A and B are shown apart, each in its own frame.
Chain A
Amino acid sequence: MINASLKQLSQALAGKQISSVELTQLFLERIERLNPLFNAFITVDAEKSLAAARSADARIAAGDGGLLTGIPIAQKDIFCAEGWPTTCGSKMLANFVAPYDATVIRKMERDSGLVSLGKTNMDEFAMGSSNETSFFGPVRNPWDSERVPGGSSGGSAAAVAARLAPAATGTDTGGSIRQPAALCNLTGLKPTYGVVSRYGMIAFASSLDQAGPMAASAEDCALLLNSMAGFDERDSTSLERPPEDYSRDLEQPLNGLRIGLPKEFFGPGCAAEVMAAVQLALAEYKKLGATLVDVSLPNSHLSVPAYYVIAPAEASSNLSRFDGVRYGFRAADYGNLDEMYMKTRAQGFGAEVKRRIMIGAYVLSHGYYDAYYLQAQRIRRLIANDFVEAFKHCDVIIGPTSPSTAFKLGEKAADPVQMYLSDIYTIAVNLAGLPGMSLPCGFVGGLPVGLQLIGNYFAEGQLLNVAHQYQQVSAWHQQRPAGLA
């Protein structure tokens, strides 16, 4: 049962082979036993989870259940969930109990009847690529506990990889779903910007943040996205589009699919063994009927520099709300109001978050705005235009998700720039607002390699199809870390 797909779990629940309470207990027991090894969860509340499972069972018994009703899931601790501590991985919110539900939580738990197993660990305010910036300690990769799971959705990735949960939510501002999915052998999807509501999802960089599913397969991701996506009037950037069934095209053949290979993603900078695994996957796609087309994203090397202006600028504005007045942490000793702000923020934020707030404050300040912020926004346009041009010649773009497999804990922690460069292949997708996925495509020295798929705007269904077809002829996504029975 612990390795079952969401569809199998759904059938088992519908067929009364297992109840939601039993299924939830099964995963809670694994969390209790195995989570100390990985630190994947910040908050677990068995009573709350079991209460939700009981109401899911009642819904199923009454014939009122949906496809996902009663299936347990792990929620990234960036989503406000009423009555649950919602920390965002920060001391600033260590004592914050959310007074309302994020739209993602409402849709998944209240509407679809998914059962929350708890809140997963993450880089503080989603700022990091290794889960080492969390106030609640680093997460360890189930494939090698001396290595990072990636970030910022590292807790969600480790939880699903170790089968402490059948699936999880993540958020992706510069690669935070795709990179941990790659490093932990999962399938993860960042939708087109605006497809999933940001309401109640603690903001990092609002023009880039997007939530999505992390699971064992593309099919699982499609079912989860069906629950997560949809217009929400409470998010001013939510897109008014008719609802879609993201699993509708899963079984489509790939004959005639044109796969674009950006030469910038196949040059130096990527570990040779990672590239070899990507090439093998491309050969598999040719067997499935796809053709490979060379394309170019000539400005993609500028995505990391532009991102580290735009994301910190937006973060410095978003995080100004943490002032010790209305919620969250407040410093113990202070004199006047200014001192209260300064000490609260000095003590409440960790080093990486402070760095990004300061970069943002600087690039937005008088005299630097044009040279940094506007220049970065112009480069963002160039990067987005590169994709428009590339998609004239291909249907999807494929490359590596991450330039390396999981690195060691502490390996990049002292050098922010080295850490930032672990997202060189993922960031451009956020700047353009496109959908992107990562799926397992092999192992190097026992560590998973991720294949990145990038689609045109609103091509989530197609990406899931392209991933699912590969998963019908490969078994990488079914591999599990050893020793975690």
Chain B
Amino acid sequence: MSLTLEQVQRIAHLARIEISEAEALTTRSHLNGIFELIEQMQAVDTKGIEPMAHAQELSQRLRQDVVSEPDRRTAFQAIAPETEAGLYLVPKVIE
């Protein structure tokens, strides 16, 4: 497998990472090297093998539907890049 420049740019967009053409070229060569390593998996017959998502077979615990955390809005918003009136500010999304 070998990624094209367009594929690299598409992946960067999916990951929401701005990438210049020069960076895309370097990235492509690194990713192709890594995928060459990953491709070793394709030779393995895994028919009938259950995928293992996790080290422990756990089901999600449930808890009582009650408030368990104090209100820390001020502390949490104090570390945000931009807030106003208790809201997080981002560029306008609705014209």
Partner of B17, one of A97, A358, A359, A433: A358
Q: Give the docked Cα–Cα distance between A362 and B13 (Å).
A: 11
Evaluate contact between A335 and B55: CB separation under 8 angstroms: no
Evaluate contact between A416 and B90: CB separation under 8 angstroms: no
- Of the candidate stretches A57-65, A158-166, A216-224, A374-382, the one touching chain B is A374-382
Evaluate contact between B80 and A325: CB separation under 8 angstroms: yes
Query: Which of under 10, 10 to 19, 20 to 34, or 35 or more describes the interface residues of A?
Result: 35 or more
Evaluate contact between A374 and B51: CB separation under 8 angstroms: yes
Evaluate contact between A302 and B44: CB separation under 8 angstroms: yes
B44, B52, B78, B92 — which one has the most chain A CB atoms within 10 A of its CB? B52
Partner of B16, one of A305, A342, A360: A342
Q: Give the docked Cα–Cα distance between A136 and B33 (Å).
A: 27
Query: Which residues 56-95 in B have Cβ within 8 Å of A in the complex?
Result: 56, 58, 60-61, 63, 72, 75-76, 78-82, 88, 90-93
Chain A's closest residue to B81 (CB) is A330
Query: What residues on B are CB-neighbors of A335 within 8 Å?
Result: 91
Evaluate contact between A375 and B90: CB separation under 8 angstroms: no
Query: What residues on A are CB-neighbors of B31 within 8 Å?
Result: 355, 358-359, 362
Chain B's closest residue to A207 (CB) is B54
Q: Give the docked Cα–Cα distance between A236 and B80 (Å).
A: 26
Q: Give the docked Cα–Cα distance between A340 and B60 (Å).
A: 35
Evaluate contact between A239 and B15: CB separation under 8 angstroms: no
Count residues of chain B with CB under 8 A from any CB of chain A. 50
Chain B's closest residue to A95 (CB) is B79
Q: Give the docked Cα–Cα distance between A339 and B49 (Å).
A: 42
Query: What residues on A are CB-neighbors of B12 within 8 Å?
Result: 358
Query: What residues on B are CB-neighbors of A382 within 8 Å?
Result: 44, 46, 49
Query: What residues on A are CB-neighbors of B49 within 8 Å?
Result: 378, 381-382
Evaluate contact between A325 and B18: CB separation under 8 angstroms: no
Check if A371 is an interface residue, CB within 8 A of chain B: yes
Check if A40 is an interface residue, CB within 8 A of chain B: no
Q: Give the docked Cα–Cα distance between A358 and B30 (Å).
A: 11
Evaluate contact between B34 and A361: CB separation under 8 angstroms: no
Check if A246 is an interface residue, CB within 8 A of chain B: no
Given contacts A327-B80, A361-B14, contact A207 B55 (CB under 8 A): yes
Chain B nearest Cβ from A449, distance in angstroms: 26
Task: Give the secondary structure class of A's interface.
Answer: helix
Query: What residues on A are CB-neighbors of B60 within 8 Å?
Result: 236
Given contacts A193-B56, A374-B51, contact A379 B17 (CB under 8 A): no
Q: Give the docked Cα–Cα distance between A236 and B62 (Å).
A: 10
Q: Give the docked Cα–Cα distance between A309 and B44 (Å).
A: 15
- Of the candidate stretches A247-255, A343-351, A398-406, A461-469, the one touching chain B is A343-351
Q: Give the docked Cα–Cα distance between A361 and B19 (Å).
A: 15
Query: Which residues 287-336 in A have Cβ within 8 Å of B in the complex?
Result: 299, 301-302, 304-306, 308-309, 316, 320, 323-330, 334-336
Evaluate contact between B52 and A381: CB separation under 8 angstroms: yes
Check if B22 is an interface residue, CB within 8 A of chain A: no
Evaluate contact between A365 and B80: CB separation under 8 angstroms: no
Chain A nearest Cβ from B13, distance in angstroms: 8
Chain B's closest residue to A358 (CB) is B11
Q: Give the docked Cα–Cα distance between A380 and B36 (Å).
A: 19
Evaluate contact between B55 and A193: CB separation under 8 angstroms: yes
Q: What is the 8 Å Cβ interface bit string for chain B, positions 34-56, against chain A (1 contact, 0 not)?
A: 11111111101010011111111
B31, B41, B91 — which one has the most chain A CB atoms within 10 A of its CB? B41
Evaluate contact between B27 and A355: CB separation under 8 angstroms: yes
Query: What residues on A are CB-neighbors of B30 within 8 Å?
Result: 355, 416
Q: Give the docked Cα–Cα distance between A365 and B15 (Å).
A: 11
Known: A99-B79, A340-B91, A375-B41. 17 other contacts (CB 8 A): A193-B56, A233-B63, A237-B54, A302-B41, A308-B34, A326-B88, A328-B81, A337-B91, A342-B16, A345-B15, A349-B17, A358-B8, A358-B31, A359-B34, A360-B15, A417-B37, A432-B55
**Chain B interface (Cβ < 8 Å from any Cβ of A):** 8, 11-19, 27, 30-31, 33-42, 44, 46, 49-56, 58, 60-61, 63, 72, 75-76, 78-82, 88, 90-93
The 5 closest A-B pairs by CB, nearest first: A433-B55, A377-B51, A378-B46, A330-B81, A346-B18
Return 11 A-B CB contacts under 8 Å, by A number: A97-B79, A326-B80, A328-B81, A336-B91, A340-B90, A354-B17, A362-B14, A374-B51, A376-B41, A382-B49, A416-B33
